Amino acid sequence: LTSKVSLAFASNAVITINGTLNTASAFTASNDITLGASGIINGSATFTLNAGATMRIGSVNGIAAGNAASGNIQVTGSRTYDPGAHYIYNGTASQSTGDGLPTGLTGSLTIDNPTTVTLAAARTMTTGTLNLKQGTFAAGTLLTLGNSTTAANATINRSEGAVSGTLQGANWYNIIYSG
């Protein structure tokens, strides 16, 4: 599909892309977007994922910053991934988060991949939620979780899955086991 108009979707829209969407205009998601393993948004457009939106990421390369032709988002214009959005890695093969996953997450990061999702670059999650649904989140020493006060902490919500590595920082965070 090739688009030459701005693509902005209503907050209640649900978008699924399993092929390639080539667009020359702005793509703004304020809603629920699912990008399958081969789902790609490319072209000369800009891409914006707004706070509160949910993006399901299926590419083995995750999401890239800059204008790298890698992962689910490959536009050559600017890429804006809001830290208040919700990022779900739900591929079926091992995945990298890619360097586009924002730091300072206040939304959520969900690992829902039966194999492994590897954190590609150092990231901080001060008040967001890390959801472990299945598989292993290979954070190494790249994830700093929580903040220095007992108020508004980050949370790890584990129903299945695991984190491998050592969380960084001498900070407060909550851990909830439900599985």
User: Which three-class secondary structure state does DSSP give residue 28?
Assistant: strand
Q: Distance of CA 45 to CAs 19, 73, 104, 113, Å?
A: 17, 11, 25, 29
DSSP annotation of 147: B
pLDDT surpasses 70 at 9: no
Contact present, 104 and 82 (Cβ < 8 Å): no
Rg (the chain; Cα; Å): 16
Give per-residue pLDDT as tens, 17-49.
999 999 988 898 988 999 999 999 999 999 999
Q: Which pLDDT score is estimated for 8?
A: 64
Q: What is the pTM of this model?
A: 0.92
Provide the pLDDT for residue 44: 93
Mind giving me the DSSP string for 40-72? EEEES--EEE-TT-EEEE--TT-B-STT-S-BS
Task: Give tens-digit pLDDT for 71-125.
Answer: 999 999 999 999 999 999 999 999 999 999 999 999 999 999 999 999 999 999 9
pLDDT in tens, 128-175: 899 999 999 999 999 998 876 666 678 899 999 999 999 887 777 778
Which of 43, 44, 139, 51 is closest to 89 using CA atoms?
139
